[in-house]
Structure 1
């Protein structure tokens, strides 16, 4: 069946959660991850930005033991565009994220429009929201007593995550991005939520938690795309599927041979090393 975006939800009486508790954050992640409602909620506009600490929502935590590296973290919820502004900086009339210097593209209306057009182009080229259609649908088919879970890394405007939430209303969908997602609570599926985080910092708090992990055209924001690919795979449950759509990260010389792997951060202490390519790092390794 060809992809057709749907606005229908499994239960139109449900609404997305505004206050979303921390999800298995490690101490290092707790300071950088935010759980966010819609930017459309602008009812609170105060000079002082609000911070809220809530108990961990155990319904969304897979390991509620005494191990603080896996649970009992605080969370941050923004209540207005003013509050969300702490994640945005303005340069030359454009808005950019404040969490990562690696990702250099804007986060504003013009960029959101481009990302949504890109989404439509990719869906039309695939003929659906995702490749391996039969395998993905079989994996996400409802199973009594289980909640299937989908993770969208570098979710952009959140359009793919929300479309997946509508197609699989019994699954839980989480989108992660560097900047607030321009989602509207009135059209956002209740089984979808978004987080603000820099996936370059690692994904240990998501380990072994998802049936499908999706990453699409995120390479320009990654410090080490091979490491992030490995991190994404570690987020999968046994038998899960990773969907990665991106460009070819191998750089080729004129005679078609492949350059060495890009130099790593630790190579800065040994600039004369010859096992990895500094030129490759400039282009792809950041």
Structure 2
């Protein structure tokens, strides 16, 4: 079913006019918050949208598109059908749409994000795509029953209520349409896939870095990093995000009573690979580590605004977490959860 496009003041074709921002300045889509550009449309989502974030997302996307390949093969099965349309929620720079459009040139795409797409068409040629600027927390009624596929990835920090969001996403699909939700749980794991536990930091004014109280019985720890991530969860919750719901993603999809054929897959990505890891895993870790370290800096506006940190305290914690990651003394893995489901 081909989506019938609705004219809207916020809808636009991808144009060369939307060039990257090269100066730190606010506009109708952005404001400056703690020296980073953030969106003006949704106060819940406090990660940046600037050149530095583009670099991080580019590194992250390279890895995610590869490790999630088996999941996206199922999406390709839907998109290769005639006259199909796909809605990408949280489309960011439009990379995922470009990738899928290159493999499925007959499909039509719509991207939704809080800010304009920030790069021109891919060298492969512009896909059949439109983009809209809106806060999906306000609902998706205007897209009711328009799409054969809906895709949502890494939205947790910007979702106010997951139960409502799942129902809204389902309502955009035709009967028999495919939904794909992909999120990570803001935890880190050891080589046995057991999560490292957060620890309590102790700040001393004259110390160059915070010290951490680590239980004697604990397995090898990355105390600054675990505390950093627990702070991100707390600050996101303070900002209004339903970030804690990510652990129950599949349950929210099932309890919506909108879907059938629900399948869940855990995707493990190395940040620091375990000893004896093969060459491919080491390569993935090297690539993903760049994006992961970049994420620490991306959280500055969030943690200073909603995490009860001073600039000095956050700088010390971030530096300690970065040293733990780049030092590579203990294995670190992150878990992405991918849930596919078919609309009833």
Q: Smaller-chain TM-score range?
A: 0.5 to 0.7
Q: How far is 1:24 from its partner?
A: 4.2
Partner of residue 131, structure 1: 71
C-alpha distance in structure 2 between counterparts of 1:211 and 1:150, whole Å: 6
**Partner residue of 2:104 out of 159, 165, 168:** 168
Q: How far is 1:113 from its partner?
A: 1.4
Please say if 1:285 is aligned against 2:242: yes
Relative to 1, partners in 2 of residues 1:222 and 1:109: Cα closer, same or farther, differing over 3 Å?
Answer: same
Task: Summarize the alignment of residues 174-185 of structure 1 with structure 2, pairs less than 5 Å apart.
Answer: 174-185=110-121
Q: How far is 1:226 from its partner?
A: 2.1
Deviation per CA, 1:87-141: give whole Å up to 9, x if none. Answer: 1112333211111101000111111111121111212222x2x6162x4333222
**Partner residue of 1:152 out of 85, 88, 94:** 88
Partner of residue 17, structure 2: 41
Relative to 1, partners in 2 of residues 1:42 and 1:280: Cα closer, same or farther, differing over 3 Å?
Answer: closer
Please say if 1:105 is aligned against 2:44: no
Q: Is the 8 A contact 2:146 2:172 kept in 1?
A: yes
Partner of residue 163, structure 2: 226
Paired residue secondary structure (2:71): coil
Instruction: Give TM-score, length-normalised by structure 1.
Output: 0.58
Please say if 1:241 is aligned against 2:178: yes
Q: How far is 1:204 from its partner?
A: 0.9
Please say if 1:120 is aligned against 2:56: no
Of 114-123 and 211-220, the range deviating more from structure 2 = 114-123
Paired residue secondary structure (1:194): strand
Q: Is the 8 A contact 2:114 2:134 kept in 1?
A: yes
Q: Is the 8 A contact 1:177 1:195 kept in 2?
A: yes
Let me know the Cα RMSD of the aligned residues: 3.3
Instruction: Give TM-score, length-normalised by structure 2.
Output: 0.48
Per residue, is there more helix in 1 or in 2? 2
Paired residue secondary structure (2:120): coil
C-alpha distance in structure 1 between counterparts of 2:235 and 2:37, whole Å: 29
Partner of residue 189, structure 1: 126
Q: Is the 8 A contact 1:40 1:182 kept in 2?
A: no
C-alpha distance in structure 2 between counterparts of 1:91 and 1:216, whole Å: 24
Q: How far is 1:194 from its partner?
A: 1.4
Q: How far is 1:233 from its partner?
A: 1.2
C-alpha distance in structure 2 between counterparts of 1:279 and 1:182, whole Å: 27
Please say if 1:141 is aligned against 2:117: no
C-alpha distance in structure 2 between counterparts of 1:138 and 1:38, whole Å: 26
**Where does the alignment leave 5 or more consecutive residues of structure 2 unmatched?**
187-233, 244-344
